[in-house]
Structure 1
């Protein structure tokens, strides 16, 4: 069975047991490691992997073929995307500064970009200028080097942006939580509807539980794929993004996903979703 997820510490931590044959009854998985922009595209491919990690923002386009699984994904509080600028840019503490500016984002259908668009509609009069899509690990250097005016960052950038000489304009997760009182839906795990979805969910949940019970077993695998992150940064990443929602979305998780997609559909940013298709 084919599976695609990012090389980020939360994904490799969660799926280590599953892809290393440590989950009883699970089949052998053929793994592809790819940035979220690539996995979002793979989900739209008729020959895409059977199981994928994608952005919740990309879900409306693939729900006819793929089902959202209730575990394995990234959803939580205090873990949202950030909008960063250079520290020496004037007035970068004001959202209106972004009007007409060049902004780098990690994927056109990323949850981060969807949250940014919802926030900008309320806070950036006249709208931002050019949107530049680039791999998330290239965004902070691009902002630092002046290739773009601002960057929308995800993952471990929360812990490392100071080292690039950048400053925080807005934490979109904090904005979302204060606006909705709901957690932030970031990355979803989906599986092809033709498969035994209950079994796949059980295997993934077992992999999560194994990771929590045996954190040292996956450490080498996590660090090998973590794009040269320091061990303490990789661990902070795991601690933030692997939480109770990873084991089970629960009612709060489904409410957050529904709120995000409904709001985005009302703004014309994503197709309307049948809420019943999310479960």
Structure 2
């Protein structure tokens, strides 16, 4: 069976047991490591070589006819949302978010959950809207803001722990905004699988992999750090602690409610194609 997920610590931690043959009764899994903007595209293209993928929740409306959302293995949570960053003294100040009006903003993907949240947030807080949206790999965004090549950047992952090293200023925490606005956790990354597969068995194997990771937290350390893209061990562990939580084992009613709220709002705003919300579960 073929699976695609990112090399980020939360994904390698979650899937370590599954891809190393440590989950009883699970078949062998071949891994494609790719950033989420690539897996979003592969899912939209219905790549015949992949059975299971980690994608953005924002990308779900384009693929739900062929893929089902699995209830485990993904990333939801509190206090873990994307950040809007600016260079020190460049944008923001007394004007706050309104200072983004007409500005150039870098985002990691046009179908990322981060960008969808940004668009919902900007509709409330940036009069007239932002100016140009520039898509950059997420690891290039903070240097571009620091160097004044763009006015603001939308960042994800471990940037939450490292942006101060670039001398950047936090303009908005979109996770905090979402939680205050809805009372719900923020949906970030979803695990999807072809509807033709045994979805109950797949969910069981992935849940067992999550539980193995928690029961044996040191077992995956070498694997996680091998793929951590020069991240320090402390940052990698903080990354895992933030993004791997109870929702990784089971979305539950609260998790599904968060996904329905995000994508329902996005449909109302015309930001994603209309679809039947009942397909989420």
TM-score (norm 2): 0.98
Aligned partner (choices 117, 122, 142) of residue 115 of structure 1 = 117
Structure 1 residue 47: Cα displacement: 2.5
Which residue is equivalent to 1:173? Answer: 175
Deviations 1:201-226 (A, max 9, x none): 00000000000000101001101111
Q: Quick one: structure 1 residues 92 and 227, their matched pair in 2 at CA, closer, same or farther if it must change by over 3 Å?
A: farther
2:42 equivalent to 1:42? yes
Shift in alpha-carbon separation, 1:66–1:87, aligned structure 2, 3 A: same
For residues 102-147 of structure 1, the C-alpha deviation after alignment (integer angstroms, 9 at most, x for no partner) is 1110110000000000000011011101111111111111111111
Moved over 4 A (4+): none
**2:103 corresponds to:** 101
CA displacement 1:152-182 (0-9 Å, x = unmatched)? 0001000000001101000000000000000
1:54 matched to 2:55 = yes
Distance 2:91 2:25 in 1: 58
Structure 2's unaligned 5+ residue stretches are none
Residue 213 of structure 1 corresponds to 215
| 1:92 to partner: Cα distance | 4.2
Number of residues of Structure 1 aligned to a counterpart in Structure 2: 279
Shift of 1:195: 0.3
Superposed displacement of residue 250, structure 1: 0.2
Q: How does 1:60-209 map to 2 (within 5 A)?
A: 60-92=61-93, 94-209=96-211
**Alpha-carbon shift at residue 46 of structure 1 (Å):** 2.6
Question: Could you list the per-position Cα deviations for residues 188-209 of structure 1 after superposition, in whole angstroms to 9, with x for gaps in the alignment?
Answer: 0000000000000000000000
SS of the residue corresponding to residue 274 of structure 2 reads coil
The question of whether the paired residues in 2 share the 8 Å contact of 1:75 and 1:183 is answered with yes
Check the 8 A contact 1:261/1:273 in 2, yes or no: no
In the alignment, the residues of structure 1 paired with residue 117 and residue 126 of structure 2 have an alpha-carbon distance, to the nearest angstrom, of 13
Partner of 1:263: 265
Distance 1:145 1:30, change over 3 A: same
5+ long unaligned stretches in structure 1: none
Q: Within 1, Cα distance between the matches of 2:31 and 2:92?
A: 45
Residues 262 and 273 in structure 1, CA contact (< 8 A), matched pair in contact too: no
What is the TM-score when the length of structure 1 is the normalising length?
A: 0.98
